[in-house]
Amino acid sequence: MKGLGTSVFLLVSAVTVVSPVFAQSLGDAARRERERRAKDAKPPAPVYGDAELEARRGSGPPPATPSPSPSPSASPVPKPAEDEAAVRKRQEIEWRLRFADARERVALAEKASWHEVVETVFVSGIPVQQRVRKFEETDALHRARKALADLEEEYRRTGLPPGWVRD
């Protein structure tokens, strides 16, 4: 009986010594997070609709449009009779043609990089020769890829719309 009293005493003392642990409810955590975000809140970014854009369109000069480096077929100075839309359309066509040409050179160089070779493989210990197509990086492919990368960098620096260079 003495052992039972000691174990009950230890159990009662352990329960009273250890403070009760309460789990944080999900609602309390959400409330605390909302309060923290409200305290750290930044003012919302301005939102412009069509009405605000139309009102601002008439004020101030139009933004400057950087032009691509001239190609041999492009005239360096736009004709006075051309309006801005025609100039931008001409620029878009020129850039699309330059990119199409560069991509075509890369595709041709990749096609030329494939070679058909005869390999010997062992199947169950028996040598078997087979024809395989292998891809080998060539200098022409490296140059074509470098030219395309340089053209992309040149275009990126112009600030023109990125959609013009897509396929």
Digit-coded pLDDT (tens) for 129-152: 999 899 889 999 999 999 999 999
Q: Are 120 and 128 in contact (CB under 8 A)?
A: yes
Digit-coded pLDDT (tens) for 74-93: 555 555 556 888 888 888 89
Residue 33 corresponds to which tokens in the numbers above?
A: 């997070």
Q: Are 145 and 106 in contact (CB under 8 A)?
A: yes
Query: CB count, 10 Å around CB of 95?
Result: 20
Q: How far apart are CA 156 and CA 101, in angstroms?
A: 18
Q: How high is the pLDDT of residue 23?
A: 62
